[in-house]
Amino acid sequence: MKALILGGYGNFGKRIAALLTRKGVAVVIAGRDGRKAEAAAKTLPPQLAEYAAFDAKLDLARQLALLKPGVVINTCGPFQNSDYGIAETCIAGAVPYIDLADGRDFVTGITKLDAAAKKQNVAVISGASTVPALTCAVVENLAPQLPEIYSLTFGIAPGQKAERGLATTQAILGYVGRKLKPCAGYETRYGWQDLYRQAYPEIGNRWMANCDVPDLDLLPERFGIKQIRFSAGMEIPAIHFGMWLLSWGVRLGLPVDLPGHAAALLKASNWLDRFGSADGGMHVILQGRDRSGRPATRKWFIVARDGDGPYIPTVPAVALARKIIAGTFVRTGAMPCVGLITLREYLDELAHLKIKTYEF
């Protein structure tokens, strides 16, 4: 059984392929550019890697019949304005589906495919990435210490030299300066505003700003959280505050098409790599009451060194694909990726990398 990775030569796809083949799972590197797919496949063990060139939106059904994968992993973002066509094609072919979506409506809305997926006896999993999968795993791990959780403040701060993909850049720029959906504790928020400074172990302080993720809908319902806030930050302050200034232009109604300039802005950002590092992190801060009923705070951090940070979002897809291929993932239906892997399972997949966690 093999995993078909759509966008398999991209920022996340190639890392998923590396982690899967490291565990002996065969992969098919797929994308529209045959040369890039072939080149990526040649970096992997030859007995475990092949490639295919096709457009997943046009030719996936035929390719599923030809390749007969045990699972499809979709890394082709941005997902914010995507439909469920690829997932529906997988359901029709009775092939389990996993994606790395971080689009709030996309991930929470995947349940509309639940009946069709159950009828075909397959799993359809959306959001198999840092958010919401890792956030949920961390909160579940800390929850026994805080039976009552008031607030969750969390965020991601990648290193400047860590590899950044165009799809991720487009996704972030899509909500910079735009009014975001309300979430628990916050009726009005705007993308990349409400700046604050977050201290991390090892890598120091990072500026943070509002971002939109599916956790804002999924976790308050799951854990009874009354206030939730997610932010992201750039390591170089000039880039972070530059995006903040752009957010005001969008908020004030200026005709600024930031996603349309994503490639140029990403290239400009890359020029400043010499001033940053390849070290990044994530923070999860919970406030509530402990088992004695006293106010308490729990803090959890993950820090990645030397460019290993982009592996963190790939872990849920890797872990779940391995379970599906091994026949140990027995759930069917369409679901967001919450509560599907434990924190221990997550960290085990990262054990060979320069990644450490801290809990206070």
DSSP-assigned letters across all residues of 284-344 = EEEEEE-TTS-EEEEEEEEEE-TT-GGGGGGHHHHHHHHHHHHT-----EEEESSSSS-HH
pLDDT at site 73: 98
360 residues of the chain, pLDDT tens digit each: 999 999 999 999 999 999 999 999 999 999 999 999 999 999 999 999 999 999 999 999 999 999 999 999 999 988 988 999 999 999 999 999 999 999 999 999 999 999 999 999 999 999 999 999 999 999 999 999 999 999 999 999 999 998 888 888 988 999 999 999 999 999 999 999 999 999 999 999 999 999 999 999 999 999 999 999 999 999 999 999 999 999 999 999 999 899 999 999 999 999 999 999 999 999 999 999 999 999 999 999 999 999 999 999 999 999 999 999 999 999 999 999 999 999 999 999 999 999 999 999
Range list for CATH 3.30.360.10 in the chain: 131-304
Q: What is the structure's pLDDT at 126? A: 98
- What is the second-level CATH architecture of the domain 2-129+310-353? 3-Layer(aba) Sandwich (3.40)
CA distance 317 to 338: 12
Q: What is the CATH number of domain 131-304?
A: 3.30.360.10
Q: b/e for 121-136, b at 16 or more Cβ within 10 A? A: ebbbbbbbbbbbbbbb
Listing DSSP states for 36-64 in one string gives HHHHHHTTS-TTTEEEEE--HHHHHHHHH
Nearest CA to 186 out of 208, 156, 217, 207 is that of 217
Quote the pLDDT of residue 247. Answer: 98
CATH 3.40.50.720 residue ranges of the chain are 2-129+310-353
Would you state the pLDDT for residue 168? 84
